C-alpha cells in the first residue's frame, strides 16, 4: 500500500467515524419543529437558548431567548443552573450547532432539545404572526 492510499484510508475512516458519531448524538436528542417550540414557549415551559455567534444574534433573535454562543457554552454552564427545572431548547441558524449544544447540555445533566431548522425555520413558521417573528436589535 502506498502512502497516498494509507492517507486516503485513514481519512475515510475518520469521516465515517465523524458521521456515525453525529448520527448517534442526534438520535439521542429530542428534536422539535419551530411550531412545537412556539407552543411550548407560549406555555412558558421551556427556555430557548440561542447558540449562534454574536454577529448572527445582532441580525435577528427570538424574543425571550438567552444567548450563549456554542463556543462559550462549556465555560458558561453555571449561567444555566437556574433553568435546570426547564427544558432548554437550543437553536442556531440551521440546526447543526444546536445539536452539539443540546448534546453538551445533556451530558451535564440538563434536559435539552434541538429546534429543527434553526432560526430560518422559526421565521418561516411565524411568517404571518408579527408577535412571534424574530426581533431586530
Could you give the CA distance from residue 137 to residue 122 in angstroms, rounded to a whole number?
17
Which residues, at least 6 apart from 110, have a Cβ–Cβ distance to it below 8 Å? 80, 83, 84, 88
> Which position among 48, 49, 68, 92 bears the catalytic label?
92
Could you give the CA distance from residue 60 to residue 34 in angstroms, rounded to a whole number?
16
SS3 state at 119: helix
Q: Is 134 a catalytic residue?
A: no
**CB–CB of 134/60 below 8 Å?**
yes
Could you give the CA distance from residue 31 to residue 33 in angstroms, rounded to a whole number?
7
Q: Could you list the active site residues?
A: 92
Amino acid at each position: 500500500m502506498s502512502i497516498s492510499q494509507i492517507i486516503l484510508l485513514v481519512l475515510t475512516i475518520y469521516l465515517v467515524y465523524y458521521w456515525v458519531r453525529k448520527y448517534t448524538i442526534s438520535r439521542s436528542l429530542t428534536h422539535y419543529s419551530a411550531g412545537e417550540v412556539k407552543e411550548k414557549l407560549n406555555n412558558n415551559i421551556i427556555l430557548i437558548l440561542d447558540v449562534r455567534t454574536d454577529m448572527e444574534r445582532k441580525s435577528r433573535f427570538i424574543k425571550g431567548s438567552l444567548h450563549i454562543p456554542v463556543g462559550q457554552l462549556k465555560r458558561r454552564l453555571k449561567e444555566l443552573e437556574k433553568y435546570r427545572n426547564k427544558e432548554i431548547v437550543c437553536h442556531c441558524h440551521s440546526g447543526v450547532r444546536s445539536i452539539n449544544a443540546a448534546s453538551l447540555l445533556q451530558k451535564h445533566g440538563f434536559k435539552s432539545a434541538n429546534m429543527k431548522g434553526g432560526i430560518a425555520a422559526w421565521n418561516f413558521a411565524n411568517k404571518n404572526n408579527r408577535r412571534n417573528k424574530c426581533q431586530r436589535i
